[in-house]
Amino acid sequence: MSDVIWHDVECGRYDADFALWRELAAQANGPILDVGAGTGRVALELARRGHEVVALDRDPRLLGVLADRAHGEGLHVETVVADAGNFKLGRHDFAIVMAPMQTVQLLRREGRLGFLRSARAHVAPGALVAIALADALECFDADHVLLPLPDRLIVDSTLYSSQPVALRDHGETVAIERIREILTADGQRIASQDILHLDRVTIAQLETEGQAAGLTPLPARIVDATEEHVGTSVVMLRG
């Protein structure tokens, strides 16, 4: 259950991109595939607006929480356990295949190319593939005083806090280092380190890879940075 909680802490409360996903979904006029759906941050938001959503993730525990939350709200969201880098759902009618947050930056190059081929195979003619990329992956360290604000969530009177403390350059990837802290109601405090590796991927690079997969680039969209989160570039590709 701890993986689910940390997913909610570090990803679940981000909503700066909702306006864009709502806009694209409203224009889509068809089913939506949310790749890397996790516990349903975007999938549930779109389902609340009456859209048909299929949520794909490789972690069945996260999808189980998504399904429970959908049921609790009287929503229907189909869930599929599959690898974002190679999925086959037996349908080709999606109006949008979307990869919010930085899902494709977790896949390494071969997985990213596999995602693009899989997305192309699942969209209807002329449909959209929309892929979020994290901006501003410049490294910060002890010389930079203002670190991003920690993500916090209270669950059953226990405070979970995740503080980014460093971004370290590893060439083709960036390591995001976080300190995770748990503070229980009785004052017990537990800390651990977590490291997440993201691929460095540019808009132009992803557009070129998309073209190789049979997709046509459209003008990218931008989600502005917030006090707690870096900005996001959303690469737009037409099927």
CA 174 to chain centre: 17
Rounded Cα gap, residues 175 and 167, in angstroms: 5
Strand partners, 159: 154, 183
Give which of 113, 126, 134, 132 is closest to 209, Cα–Cα.
113
| CATH tag, 151-198 | 2.20.130
Q: Which CATH architecture does the domain made up of 2-135+201-238 adopt? A: 3-Layer(aba) Sandwich (3.40)
Band of the pLDDT at 19, cuts 50, 70, 90?
Answer: very high
The span from the CA of 90 to the CA of 66, in Å, is 22
pLDDT digits (tens, 9 = 90+) for 174-208: 888 999 999 999 989 999 999 989 999 999 999 99
The pLDDT value given to residue 142: 47
Residue 150's pLDDT is what? 87
CB distance 40 to 55 below 8 Å: yes
pLDDT at 136: 58
Instruction: From residue 233, give the alpha-carbon distance in Å to each of 6, 141, 220, 224, 236.
Output: 24, 24, 7, 9, 10
Average pLDDT over residues 132-145: 61
Neighbours of 53 (CB within 10 A): 28
Residue 171: predicted pLDDT: 83
Domain boundaries, the chain: 2-135+201-238, 151-198
Do 2-135+201-238 and 151-198 agree at the fold level? no
User: For the chain, what is the mean pLDDT?
Assistant: 91
pLDDT of residue 237: 98
Per-residue pLDDT, 228? 63
Percent of the chain with pLDDT strictly greater than 70: 92
CA distance 71 to 84: 24
Q: How confident is the model at residue 12 (pLDDT cuts 50, 70, 90)?
A: confident
pLDDT given for residue 227 in this prediction: 65
Measure the CA–CA gap between 53 and 70, rounded to whole angstroms.
11
Give mean pLDDT, residues 41-48.
Answer: 97
Positive or negative: CA dihedral 33, 35, 40, 45: negative
Helix 203-212 / helix 108-122 crossing angle, nearest 10 deg: 60
Q: Which pLDDT belongs to residue 141? A: 46
pLDDT tens readout for residues 59-109: 999 999 999 999 999 999 999 999 999 999 999 999 999 999 889 999 999
- Is pLDDT of 155 > 80? yes
Radius of gyration of the chain (CA): 18
Per-residue pLDDT, 39: 96
pLDDT score recorded for residue 165: 86
Q: What pLDDT, on a 0 to 100 scale, did the predictor assign at position 103?
A: 93
Residue 30: pLDDT band by 50, 70, 90 thresholds?
A: very high
pTM: 0.90
